[in-house]
Amino acid sequence: MTLEPTRIRLARERVALSRSALAASLGVGERELAQAPEKLSTALAQTLGCAEQFFRLPATSGIDAERIFFRSPRRTSNAQKLAAAAAGRTGVELYRLITQTFHLPQTEVPELTGYNPADAAAQLRLDWDLGCGALPDVLHLLESHGVRVLSLPAELDAVKTFSFWEEGQAFIFLASGTSAGQRFALAHELGHLVLHSSLSRNADHIAYAELEADQFAAHLLMPALSLQIRVSNLLQIPQLLTLEKHFGVPATVILAHARACGVLGESTYTWLCQEMLLEPVRNSAPETSRVFSLVFPSLQFDHRASTARIAQELGLTEQHIHELTFGQAFVLLTGENQQDPGESIRGHLHAL
């Protein structure tokens, strides 16, 4: 019996390892690796950081990297793109498993190709009945409209947040960062999903699409009308920091958008940008998923399906699931006090 070659390829792409490097690390030839026998499963799992079961699952492949919207496509290496595509496939399979038990909203992201970014943002607010004020939690908002949002493993942070369509569903992989930065990144990826589903892969088109996605995000999070009644050339740092909290967007993004909307002059913009460099970094809690906050406790306690069992079905480690779910998947930590099943532990309570 041979192991599934497409699974071996996906696993090595996820850790950015070439076929020749993998074969050399296992002490086998590339031809033998292409038809890997069962006896190599343990060594492969240890080398590639997954479970042996992964190589016995049906054939698959990473998400087509040409269909992924990368934040910095020109600065993202091919190996990084393949690793992101492999992570993307893992996320799709995780959600496929979740939806076998839970009914989640189908993606309700309108197709707005041909709109300019400002009009697209206004249309989306109408479609989603968002009014013209500051948005609530953006991650939860996206999930309520069927967008599948997962966290990006730390080793892929250089790739930054990315998104794609797969099986009629929209997926976003969110990189770490401040809450305000993550809100803007999510809105940026939403811009790609609504505006660029038919984008050509021409480098100039991709660069322009990144600009459009930024503009869409700014208009979605900060409608021009809201800025006009709050921003003028009399704006000071304390008021700017209040606006940062109100809109949930980095102050530098607010300043750039206010200048683009014509409500902030160039000299005031430059002065405030310089002043912001002197401000201390403002820490905020990172984003979390409402889907995962409901799914994993329910699976754990109602359906008796632990993170370990989910990982086993996907051929992954519990740590993989933990990394993809904003750390919201329960993971059993082992340590010095671990004992064999059925072994009793003598207590250390003392009566005083």
For residue range 92-133, list pLDDT tens digits in order: 999 999 998 899 998 999 999 999 999 999 999 999 999 989
Residue 203's pLDDT is what?
62
Nearest to 186 by CA among 337, 304, 71, 302: 71
Instruction: Please choose, from the candidates 108, 111, 233, the residue with its C-alpha nearest in 3D space to the C-alpha of residue 169.
Output: 108
Taking 50 as the threshold, does the pLDDT of residue 251 lie above it? yes
Q: Find the mean pLDDT for residues 183-189.
A: 97
Domains of the chain and CATH, by start: 1-61 (1.10.260.40), 67-221+288-330 (no CATH), 229-285 (no CATH)
In the chain, % of residues over pLDDT 90? 71
- In the predicted structure, residue 295 carries a pLDDT above the cut 50: yes
Record the tokens describing residue 157, joined without a space: 């942070």
Rounded to two decimals, the pTM is 0.89
By DSSP bridging, strand 69-70 and strand 148-151 are unpaired
Kind of pairing, strands 169-174 and 148-151? Answer: parallel
CA quadruple 69, 74, 75, 79: dihedral positive or negative?
Answer: positive
Between 50 and 202, residue with greater pLDDT: 50
Please work out, in degrees rounded to the nearest 5, the angle formed at the alpha carbon of residue 211 by the alpha carbons of 207 and 217.
Answer: 140
Cβ atoms of 19 and 30 closer than 8 Å: yes
Q: What is the pLDDT of residues 304-349, one digit of tens each?
A: 567 888 898 999 999 999 999 999 987 765 554 444 444 444 444 4
Q: What is the mean pLDDT of the chain?
A: 89
The DSSP element (H or E) to which 139 belongs, if any, is helix 138-144
Q: What confidence tens digit (pLDDT) does each residue in 141-177 have?
A: 999 999 999 999 988 988 999 999 998 999 999 999 9
Tokens of 198: 């038919």
* pLDDT score recorded for residue 326: 94
Q: How far apart are the C-alpha atoms of 24 and 22, rounded to whole Å?
A: 5
